[in-house]
Amino acid sequence: MTDASNDHAVFTHREIMRVFSGVALAMLMAAMDQTIVATALPTMAHDLGSLENLPWVVTAYLLASTSTTPIYGKLSDLYGRKRVLQVAIFLFLIGSVLCALAQSMGQLILFRGIQGLGGGGLMALAFTIIGDVVAPRERGRYQGYIGGIFALSSVAGPLLGGIFTERLSWHWIFLINLPLGAAALLMTSRALDRLPAGRMKPTIDYLGAALLMGTVTSLLFVVSRAGVALPWTSPTILGLCVLGLMMLGVFLWHERRVEEPILPLHLFREPVVAVANPVVAVSAMVLFAGIVYLPLRSQLVAGTSATTSGFLLLPMVLGMVLGAGGGGRLISKSGRYKVFPLAGLALAAVMYLALGLSPTVSESGLWSTLILVPLGIGLGLVMPVMTVAVQNAVDRRDLGAATASVGFFRSLGGSVGVAVFGAVFAADVESRLNAAGLPGISGREVMERGPSALANLAPAARSTAQSVFEHGFSTLFLLAAGLAVVSFVLTLFLKELPLRSAADAAKAGAEVA
């Protein structure tokens, strides 16, 4: 057992900012990774000569990071936040260096998996550490800082990815992590000393960790490749479905019988956790529909460059910062949190409906202001609130595992969402292209190659294809609106508990002592 005073220590604003500055760099690396890599994917495929395996550069990272997120959360409860976070940073940096040195697509995919082994802990542990030092009632004051980090990553990722790819080399998109990671290691070496150090004689659930990684890897492979690279009825897909479900059953059976389960199932008997995690998963699908497919729509329909299309997300990112920061402050003042994700999801549903029904694509400032800013505000009111609600509902000894469960469902929902939206878009485009008499280009090819798939088309055929793509994106955004409604309905069942304050934590610490 750790010292009670340490478990319930009260931090000053200055101490909180010292801790926050260290974990902020870890959050920045994790948040920026996907956007900066996505910009350089076509160049990587050209240099390494393996276009058909290009999606695995993203999939390998997602598989590794998603499956290890709950493991990091539990290990931080057992061994302490500082050591586990620094191990995650170190693994992420090793993977980054190896990716920069990759000489073939196979090597790059393998090294992205190693990078994902570290990336799985960065975001979850950062939010857990913030939960250690800031009481739920006061956490709204710091939501703006967290939103600023995501805003910076959303802008810096596409910008740096475009600059490095066009002016230097794609290898630099991985090497940029070295100074960030070194600074994060240096700043966390002392700033995290007051955090809980872990338990005296921790036991690790190795079998549970292996079963969880196997389950997630199998099922994510199915949703990411079925209907795209392999038919749904192929022996590989059906076999992985059976294998994944069997391992899931064994994992659930095993976790009920071990002393320190990797994903404590008793957490899901808490009503807040049982509702919040499905809400996070569905909301992540809604979020990634905008982050991933709004820039792609700009590239395919309006013909913008990858770098320019990334900047078109700025209004949405600004809205997310405003939503997270403003909602957090209102939560701190009122002590209520349920109304904010409900309002946010309703707003997101309306804005996605507007995107789906808009007849033409306009990149004007008015369009961005009237649709993307409110969309960002709505989405910004969901994820941070669910994290606060879960952290407020669980015991301190389970804080890491509970926070990591939110990160796990967010990653899982995002991964499944990208795959589902991609499959819907590809199928819709495929049928419309065939109906328009353009069988020379497929929906799958568009999803894998992006704008380069249109390079060899005649002007008239390209114009027809762009019109087809526009209809495909409308279908996609209408689906996102429907999922926002589903998440709204789930949130209606969220139980609202009184938010603990710093004074409550100090009182609890005194009672334990």
* pLDDT at residue 457 greater than cutoff 90: no
pLDDT value of residue 510: 45
pLDDT value of residue 2: 40
Q: 198 falls in which pLDDT band (50, 70, 90)?
A: low
Q: pTM above the 0.85 mark?
A: no
> In this structure, how many other beta carbons lie within 10 angstroms of the beta carbon of residue 302?
15
pLDDT value of residue 486: 93
The rounded Cα 109 to chain-centroid distance in angstroms is 19
| 56-103 confidence digits (pLDDT tens) | 777 778 778 877 888 887 787 777 778 888 889 889 999 989 988 888
> Higher confidence at residue 479 or residue 316?
479
* pLDDT at residue 436 greater than cutoff 70: no
> Higher confidence at residue 342 or residue 457?
342
Of the candidates 413, 410, 409, the residue with the CA atom closest to the CA atom of residue 421: 413
Amino acid at the residue 40? A
Q: Are 124 and 137 in contact (CB under 8 A)?
A: no
Of the candidates 100, 111, 261, the residue with the CA atom closest to the CA atom of residue 175: 100
pLDDT value of residue 310: 63
pLDDT value of residue 488: 93
Mean local confidence (pLDDT), 299-308? 68
Dihedral sign, CA of 185, 187, 190, 195? negative
pLDDT value of residue 22: 76
> Higher confidence at residue 406 or residue 511?
406
* pLDDT at residue 190 greater than cutoff 90: no
Cα gap 494→271, rounded to integer Å: 7
Q: Strands, DSSP E only, in 160-199?
A: none
Q: What is the 3-state secondary structure (H, E, C) of 322-372?
A: HHHHHHHHHHHHHCCCCHHHHHHHHHHHHHHHHHHHCCCCCCCHHHHHHHH
CA angle 296, 34, 103 (to 5 degrees): 105
**Percent with pLDDT over 70 in the chain:** 74
Amino acid at the residue 126? A
- Of 143-152, 276-285, 367-376, where does the model show the most confidence? 276-285
DSSP code at position 263: S
Of the candidates 178, 223, 260, the residue with the CA atom closest to the CA atom of residue 55: 223
pLDDT value of residue 490: 92
Cα gap 187→164, rounded to integer Å: 27
* pLDDT at residue 346 greater than cutoff 90: yes
| 39-60 confidence digits (pLDDT tens) | 676 677 667 765 556 667 777 7
Of the candidates 13, 16, 36, the residue with the CA atom closest to the CA atom of residue 24: 16
Q: 186 falls in which pLDDT band (50, 70, 90)?
A: confident
pLDDT value of residue 1: 37
pLDDT value of residue 414: 80
